Structure 1
Amino acid sequence: MSRLVTFALDDARYGVDVQRVREVLRTATGPRVPLAPDDVVGLLNLRGRVVPVVDPRVPLGLPSRAVPPEATLVVVHVHDEDVALVVDSLGDVVDADEETFAPAPETLDASVRALVRGAHVLPEGLLHVLDLDATVPAA
């Protein structure tokens, strides 16, 4: 069984392993970083630590949106550092059985399919499981 923290980006639901999630915040992001990659939309001072704020829409090929003044951020641990992901809304923590797990849908673009470990087919709809190591590039 997998425990996944879920969130929405546009009309799709995504999940990440609950053990990789440090915390969830609703806060303003810091200034945009000059010369940073397109998916790095700012910095966050998290109790004295500088944490990059990443928009997963960019690698997932979704239309970009302005980061709202009070953004919902899911702080995850990836590549031995904490990174804050900007999400549209936070969902529940879901316990998903292996029987509901399937490979990433063929309807996804190949570049996006490389970022998704697979999907759980749940009564409330499809839940894409993000591969954080692939979605968030190493610094």
Structure 2
Amino acid sequence: MDLLLIVSIGGSRVAFDAAMVESVIELDTLSPVPRAPKHLAGLSALRSRVLTVVDCKLALDLGKTDFTPGEIHEAAVVEVDGHHYALSVDTVEDVIEARGEPNAVRAAMGDGWERVAAGMVETDEGPILLVDIAKLIAGPQSNERAAA
């Protein structure tokens, strides 16, 4: 791992492996998906591809993102197991270089963060939590579904 995409989710700065991120986009229109897990905010389109939008706050049990129509939300587009996802984040900050491989996390962070933590990575800006994107997409373990 060489580069990290730094994002903010629920007020916390964290990193995604930049090699897994296809692009960074602005979401403006979502189509709801009845009976989908609650952390899946809906569907959006990007250049003729359907994206499943993941509300990262809900996936981490940090509250819910307000997807009011007409408001713009930043997201990182990733592909996992042949499916495209838009990971809705508070902000996309920068791409920075990692100074090594992830190390074990040695602090309590809360259940949501601990579930998705891939380790701490050293950078020129200090250590930052690396998020396991597949675990973030999987969402909370409760498997609650949205209303029909």
Would you say same fold, with TM above 0.5? Answer: yes
Q: Quick one: which amino acid aligns to residue 135 of structure 2?
A: A
More off after superposition, 119-128 vs 48-57? 119-128
CA RMSD, aligned part only?
2.1
Alpha-carbon contact 2:26-2:75 (below 8 Å) kept: yes
Q: Give the secondary-structure state (helix, strand or coil) at the position aligned to 1:102.
A: coil
The TM-score with structure 2 as length reference comes to 0.81
More strand by share: 1
Separation in 2, partners of 1:121, 1:57: 24
CA distance in 2, matches of 1:111, 1:88: 16
Q: For 1:1-139, what aligned pairs fall within 5 Å after superposition?
A: 2-68=2-68, 69-98=71-100, 101-122=102-123, 124=125, 126-137=127-138
Higher alpha-carbon deviation: 44-53 or 59-68: 59-68
- Number of aligned residue pairs: give it: 137
1:48 is displaced (CA, Å) by 1.5
Instruction: Report deviation, 1:37.
Output: 0.6
Structure 1 unaligned segments of length 5 or more: list them.
Answer: none
In structure 2, how many angstroms separate the alpha carbons of the residues matched to 1:98 and 1:17?
A: 12
Deviation of the 1:79 alpha carbon: 2.1
Closer, same or farther in 2 for the Cα pair 1:31/1:82, shift >3 Å? Answer: same
TM-aligned CA distance change 1:27 to 1:114, over 3 Å: closer
Structure 2: give runs of 5+ residues left out of the alignment: 140-148
TM-score, scaled to structure 1: 0.85
Distance 1:111 1:91, change over 3 A: closer
Spell out, residue by residue over 1:40-97, the C-alpha distance to the aligned partner (whole angstroms, 9 max, x if none). 1111111222111001112222122312521111101212221001111111111011
Identity of counterpart residues, as a percentage?
27
